[in-house]
């Protein structure tokens, strides 16, 4: 399915602690059985470090991105960095993005309500304000644009 310019058909963005061993593992297996080349990062991501080089590259080399929004998605700077890159891909090269709202709804995500509001309160105290605003903008877009 991936063309010569695309290394992956699909990039999966998800919060591992929420969905890795249940929903995402089943989704990945179904995609794989269907012959869909899917990038799923299984490495444990260390808190406080920046997104590894392989993730933006994998996003850029994918035709589709599936973003699994879950209760703790916004607590992860890694997930938010991925989301920013995915939104950039949608705008710049027409990356097809499929949102899945797992235990949350699009309004909680886009308007940063409930758990998303709590996550951003913590980010505001620990992360550069400009970066937090970039993350907020990506979530706003994802709630309404995707």
Q: Are 69 and 100 in contact (CB under 8 A)?
A: yes
Q: Are 139 and 112 in contact (CB under 8 A)?
A: yes
Structure token digits, residue 43? 């490495």
pLDDT at 7: 86
54-108 pLDDT tens trace: 888 899 999 999 999 999 999 999 899 999 999 999 999 989 999 999 999 888 8
For the whole model, what pTM was predicted?
0.86
Q: Which of 66, 52, 58 is nearest to 7 (CA)?
A: 58
Does the pLDDT of residue 146 top 60, yes or no? no
Residues with a known catalytic role: 82
What percent of the chain is predicted at pLDDT more than 90?
A: 61
Spatial separation of the C-alpha atoms in residues 28 and 7, rounded to whole Å: 16
Which domains, ranges and CATH numbers included, belong to the chain? 8-145 (3.40.50.10140)
* Distance between start and end Cα atoms, the chain: 22
38-66 pLDDT tens trace: 998 765 444 444 557 788 889 999 999 99
């Amino acid at each position: 399915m991936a063309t010569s310019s695309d290394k992956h058909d699909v990039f999966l963005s998800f919060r591992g602690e929420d969905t890795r061993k249940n929903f995402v593992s089943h989704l990945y297996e179904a995609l794989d059985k269907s012959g869909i080349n899917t990038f799923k990062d299984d490495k444990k991501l260390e808190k406080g470090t920046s997104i590894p080089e392989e993730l933006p590259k994998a996003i850029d080399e994918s035709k589709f991105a599936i973003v699994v929004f879950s209760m703790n998605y916004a607590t992860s700077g890694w997930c938010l960095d991925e989301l920013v890159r995915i939104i950039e891909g949608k705008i710049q090269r027409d990356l097809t993005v499929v949102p899945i709202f797992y235990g949350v709804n699009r309004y909680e995500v886009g308007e940063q309500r409930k758990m998303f509001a709590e996550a951003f309160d913590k980010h505001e105290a620990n992360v550069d304000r400009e970066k937090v605003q970039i993350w907020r903008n990506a979530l706003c877009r994802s709630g309404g644009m995707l």
